[in-house]
Amino acid sequence: MKSIAEFLENLSQSDDEIEIVVFFHTNQFAMDTAMNISRWLKKDYSQVEEFLSHLFSLGVLEKMGEGNSAIFSYTQDIEKIRVLDRFIKLMKEKWKR
């Protein structure tokens, strides 16, 4: 894994992307397509698809299959989950302000 700082710097592209991370962190056993995730989050499908691909490239999400039927799920990497847990707690504190 990249350094934690590099990992988090690449992660923090937008609030919408962070919302997807929080969704999967909160629902760690969720598995669904980009279309259905965009429905759950009430977000634009093409943006969600882009964010999911980016999160997959960082190892935050796992992906099974290709195209519109690809299924995304949360990483099972314990080290990343711990880092993301701390990151999400910090973000929630920031959002409270």
Per-residue model confidence (pLDDT) at position 89: 87
Q: Domains of the chain: which residue ranges?
A: 4-96
Model confidence band, residue 32 (pLDDT cutoffs 50, 70, 90): very high
Per the DSSP assignment, residues forming a β-bridge with 61 are 74
CB atoms closer than 10 angstroms to residue 11? 17
CATH code of the domain made up of 4-96: 1.10.10.10
Per-residue model confidence (pLDDT) at position 33: 98
In terms of C-beta distances under 8 Å and separation of at least 24 residues, what long-range contacts does 58-63 make, across chains too? Answer: 58/7, 58/10, 58/11, 59/1, 60/11, 60/21, 60/24, 60/84, 61/24
Per-residue model confidence (pLDDT) at position 92: 76
Q: What percentage of the chain carries pLDDT values higher than 70?
A: 91
Average pLDDT, the chain: 88
In whole angstroms, how far apart are CA 67 and each of 33, 34, 35, 72, 73? 9, 9, 11, 11, 15
**pLDDT of 30 higher than 90:** yes
